Amino acid sequence: MSKTTGNTRTGFYICHCGTNIAGTVDVEKVVDYVSKLPNVVVAKHYKYMCSDPGQEMIQKDIRDQNLNRLVVAACSPFLHERTFRNVASQAGLNQFFFQMVNTREQNAWVHLDALASTEKAIDLARSAIFRVAFHKPLEQKKVPIHPGVLVVGGGIAGIHASLTLANAGKKVFLVEREPTIGGHMAMFDKTFPTLDCAACILTPKMSSVKNHPNITMWTYSEIESVDGYVGNFKVNVKKKPRYIIEDLCVGCLDCIDACVYKEPRFFDEFNQGLSKRKPVYIPFPQATPQLVVIDPETCIDFKSNKCKKTCVDVCERKAIDLNQQPEHKEIEVGTIIVATGFKPFDASGVPYYGYGVYPNVYTALEVERLINASGPTSGEVVMRDGSRPEKIAIIHCVGSRDKNTNLWCSRVCCLYSLKLAHLLKEHTHADIYNFYIDIRTPGKMMEEFYYRMAEEGTKFIRGRVADIYPDLTDEVHRRLIVKAEDTLISEIIKVPVDMVVLSTGLEPRADANDVRRMFNITCSTEGFFIERHPKLAPVNTFTDGIFLAGCCQGPKDIPDTVAQAGAAAAEALALIDSGFIELEPNTAFVVEVDCSGCKSCVPLCPYSAISYQEDKKKAYINEALCKGCGTCVASCPSGSIKQNLFEDEEIYSEIDGILNYTNIYEVSECC
Amino acid sequence: MLLDENKSQSGSQGWQPKIIAFFCNWCTYTAADLAGVSRIKHAPNARVIRVMCSGRVDPQFILDSFAKGADGVLVGGCHPGDCHYQEGNYKCLRRFQLFKRVVESFGINKDRLRLEWISASEGDKVRLVINDMVAKVKALGPLSLPKKFSEWDKEMNIIEEKIAGKEEAVHA
């Protein structure tokens, strides 16, 4: 084992974190023990080590006691490693002469036995003190940040983030999978609690995106691959063929009228199938961009090649190109904002609610379209059987707060149910019954909104609906019976209604796992992307330079989505405007004298950072390409590859420290 | 002679196993933090050493841990396909499969060495894995290799002395 560098003078500090740590770990005992260890000059405990007085205390000790190593036992390094590195560097110490001991998240918070917890804290403190002696002064590598930003997803989150960045003068690439931007918000009729129309607040933003000189908008496009790292991402985008030459189409829609299908007859995605569209269509009148799309799945020409192609003939600008091929674009950006949104829960997942079986059972999103003035019925609430409802049941928590479907609360359903209750009452004057578990209305003006809705005469029944079935006794109305236990009066009640609205929850996108892998970010077991820290880094991911916005991170309403999108844009701006980022110096390097030139490391590197120098017969690691995993270090038979911050000596000394294997350690110190 | 032989359990009164856990920075270490944030209580016997990737875990780290007195070694990485460094966990697995056989051939019980894939969201899996491993290692008893090594050294010294004594007698 090699010698430690110079005369080691270590300062050890353990944080109480209020009672978070000190409530379980006996911090005085730890300090008492540690102060007797070799090389330890100072050992202290303090209430809040990350506070100003705590930081100042450490800095004063570093100066006064001439400390050259620092160990802090506190929370997870993910939270405050950077804080204490700054403390070290401000006191004139190289910031990498520091080691953090995770004593809160991985100790005090997860153990009940104070004795065992203290023993663990001592083991890990000793381990860090042994380790830090081997630390070397390192410099962080600065890499420039490319000013371009990629925004993935053109819902309200992606739109807002793009506009914020573009207004700040940054080049933005907005990539949307669907033929139009707008996302789910474009489908809504009105928004709670203000009841302003969704289109009125969204469509101006959509056209700003379209017209902004700094935004390149690619709809009907998908990300194929992402390479590189913070500041320097290389992204491949595939533009799917819409069979329309975008530059020529003016959105006159003559081709739709001219289609050989006289009547629309295919499932209209935007209207949730409540209306039909033709193979050549525009998703909705305000679609942005104003371009038609030809659906190859339903177009006769793609199926049989025997269509008269009336659409091609009618287009004066010759904008229709049925032989269009996918286009592949490669772009370079420095930061990425992932705003891929959510998927509504599939209501047929709760079979006893009869969605898809009884025609008058609707999902909330279908009702949004039904009451929308530009929807399939022009805002008339006419049901699938042609009748108008006189009694309506709205069922909350469908696919939320249920062990059989999804455990989480989808956060928006209570409020949109109240909104739909109001709008349905306005449109139909029907009796409305809300079946709820709890009414959850946190947020500004939300509870007030609930009271207003209650005063309007909407009935609230506290109970989860158990069954929905047709009323066979009433031949005239052919109603559905909604059966539930009213838990406030402990009685089973059966309410006959004409229409049932299922307030479906929010789910992650079905392909969240693929997206996660592509961007090298993490997602929860459910599939929502995980932020770096739930409180202090809510839009960052564990991958530097990639940020989250909107419902892909978790269910949230429009104000929160917009706020988060703004925050993600601000984080991206902060990176871009600083011009460069400092990377962790944990890269690997070859000690050439020891390298035997066996080449076993070369094929191991997934980034092709290792090459073989034919002239010297030695391996060489390109520091710019190395991401610092250390796989090559572990595999080198001659031990000639070293990894900064994770050198073999550092890890062996950590093992020694944990196991208190001091005899060898002391021998190595003196010989 | 088997390294894992416990002649008597008498020395293990009140003994608690010590397990060294090598956790990758991106998945398993984060999961252990999540267990903390979610206050998921588990056995206090594991001591975590953070590495950037499970691919960094050199088999020598594992041998060294056992030799210096660890009763068990746990390696935690990202699920296959989820590695932050594309395929470091796969390299770890490849190495581990081979190395496990080496460890077993030394006579160290296979329950003392474990590789687990724990993603950043699986805080509860951290609890399950650590508790299960601690229970299994407890059942095996202490490995205490440093003690065994020193005893064997003593035996070897006595044997060597005896041989040396005989050789001297022959020469005389």
Q: Tens-of-pLDDT digits for all 172 residues of chain B?
A: 467 766 555 456 789 999 999 999 999 999 999 999 999 999 999 999 999 999 999 999 999 999 999 999 999 999 998 898 989 999 999 999 999 999 999 999 999 999 999 999 899 999 999 999 999 999 999 998 998 888 889 999 999 999 988 888 877 7
Tokens for A191? 């928004």
Structure tokens at A334: 């420095």
The mean predicted confidence, pLDDT, of chain A is: 94
* DSSP 8-class letter at A123: H
Span A500-526, average pLDDT? 93
Q: How far is CA A132 from CA A10, A40, A628, A650, in A?
A: 8, 11, 19, 7
pLDDT at B166: 84
Report the C-alpha gap between A560 and A566 in whole angstroms.
10
Backbone angle region of A629, left / alpha / beta, with phi > 0 → left and psi within -120 to 50 → alpha:
alpha
Instruction: Quote the minimal CA–CA distance from A662 to chain B in Å.
Output: 10
pLDDT band at A663 (very low <50, low <70, confident <90, very high): low
B145-171 helix and B59-67 helix, angle to the nearest 10 degrees: 80
Q: How far apart (Å, rounded) are the C-alpha atoms in residues A598 and A596? A: 6
B121 touches chain A (CB under 8 A): yes
Distance CA B77, CA A486 (A): 49
Q: Which residue has the tokens 């550092």?
A: A650
Q: What is the mean pLDDT of residues A14-31?
A: 96
Q: Give all domains of chain B, ordered by start, each with its CATH number.
A: 16-171 (3.40.50)
Q: Is the pTM of this model over 0.90?
A: no
CA pair distance A492, A496, nearest whole angstrom = 13
Give A107's DSSP letter: I
Long-range pairs, A604-613, Cβ under 8 A, ≥24? A604/A631, A604/A632, A604/A635, A604/B91, A605/A631, A605/A632, A606/B85, A606/B86, A606/B87, A606/B88
Q: Which class is domain A346-507?
A: alpha beta
**Average of pLDDT values for A607-613?**
92
Q: Which of A350, A342, A438 is nearest to A398 (CA)?
A: A350
- B122 touching chain A per CB within 8 A: yes
Question: And the tokens for A341?
Answer: 């949104």
Chain A closest-CA separation from residue B158 CA (Å): 23
Question: Chain B closest CA to A601's CA: distance in Å?
Answer: 11
Q: Is A487 on the interface with B (CB under 8 A)?
A: no
pLDDT value for A2: 39
Do B42 and A110 count as a contact with CB atoms less than 8 A apart? yes
Testing the interface with A: which of B45, B47, B115 to mutate, by most A Cβ within 10 A? B47
Partners of residue A648 in chain B, C-beta under 8 Å? 58
CB A609, CB A643: distance < 8 Å: no
Mean pLDDT of all residues in A203-224: 97
Q: Does the CB of B52 have a partner CB in chain A at under 8 Å?
A: yes
Domain with CATH 3.30.70.20 in chain A: 588-644
Q: Do B121 and A111 lie within an 8 Å CB cutoff?
A: no
Give the architecture-level CATH label for domain A588-644.
2-Layer Sandwich (3.30)
Q: Are strands A215-218 and B19-24 parallel, antiparallel or unpaired?
A: unpaired
Sequence-ordered list of residues with C-beta below 8 angstroms from that of B15, at least 6 positions apart, any chain: B141, B142
| Mean pLDDT value across residues A504-527 | 92
Q: What is the nearest CA distance from B41 to chain A, expressed in angstroms?
A: 4
Element (H, E) at A258: helix A254-258
Distance CA A477, CA A474 (A): 6
The interface pTM score, or ipTM, of the predicted complex is 0.93
The closest alpha carbon to A107, from A71, A73, A72, A70, belongs to: A73
Contact with chain A for residue B1, Cβ under 8 A: no
Per-residue pLDDT, B3 = 73
Name the 3-class secondary structure at A56: helix
Q: How far is CA A643 from the centre of its chain?
A: 31
pLDDT confidence band for A667 (50 / 70 / 90): very low
Average pLDDT of the segment spanning A466-475: 93
* Nearest neighbour of A646 by CB, restricted to B56, B59, B81: B56
Radius of gyration of chain A (CA): 31
The percentage of residues in chain A with a pLDDT greater than 70, rounded to a whole number, is 98
Are the beta carbons of B27 and A522 separated by less than 8 Å? yes
Contacts of A661 in chain B (CB under 8 A): 68-69, 146
Answer yes or no: do A110 and B95 touch at CB < 8 A: no
Q: Outline which parts of chain A fall under CATH 3.40.50.
A: 10-138
Q: Chain A 54-93, CB below 8 Å of chain B: which residues?
A: 76-78
Which parts of A22-122 are beta strand (E)?
A: 40-46, 69-74, 98-102
- More confident call, A666 vs A19: A19
Choose among A104, A522, A646: nearest Cβ to B52: A646
Ranges in chain A annotated CATH 3.50.50.60: 142-240+326-342+509-583, 346-507
Q: List the single best residue of B33, B42, B121, B147 to mutate versus A (max A Cβ within 10 A).
A: B33
Asked if B143 and B70 touch (Cβ cutoff 8 Å), the reply is yes
- For tokens 């588990």, what's the residue? B42
- Tell me the residue ranges of DSSP E strands in B52-150: 72-77, 113-117
- Closest Cα of chain B to A652: distance in Å? 7
* Token pair belonging to A282: 């525009």
- CA-CA distances (angstroms) from residue A175 to A325, A406, A495, B122? 18, 29, 47, 31
Fold classification of A142-240+326-342+509-583 is FAD/NAD(P)-binding domain (3.50.50)
A-B interface: how many C-beta pairs under 8 angstroms? 147
User: How many Å lie between the alpha carbon of A122 and the closest alpha carbon of chain B?
Assistant: 11
Bridge partners for A142 per DSSP:
A582
A640 to chain B, any CB pair closer than 8 A? The answer is: no
d(CA A463, CA A457): 18
Whose tokens are 């992204």? That residue is: A235
Separation CA B92–CA B76 (nearest Å): 10
Using the predicted structure, report yes or no on whether residue A665 has a pLDDT greater than 60. Answer: no
The pLDDT score that the predictor gives to residue B9 is 53
Separation between Cα atoms, residue A67 and residue A64, nearest integer Å? 8
Q: What is the pLDDT of residue A206?
A: 97
pLDDT at A573 over 70: yes
Domain A10-138 classification at class level: alpha beta
- pLDDT value at position A669? 40
Backbone φ and ψ of A424, nearest 5°: -65, -40
Distance of alpha carbon B149 from the chain centroid: 17
Q: Please say if the pLDDT value at position A1 is more than 60.
A: no
Chain A residues touching residue B49 (CB < 8 angstroms):
127, 651, 654-655, 658
Give chain B positions within 8 Å (CB) of A102: 33, 48
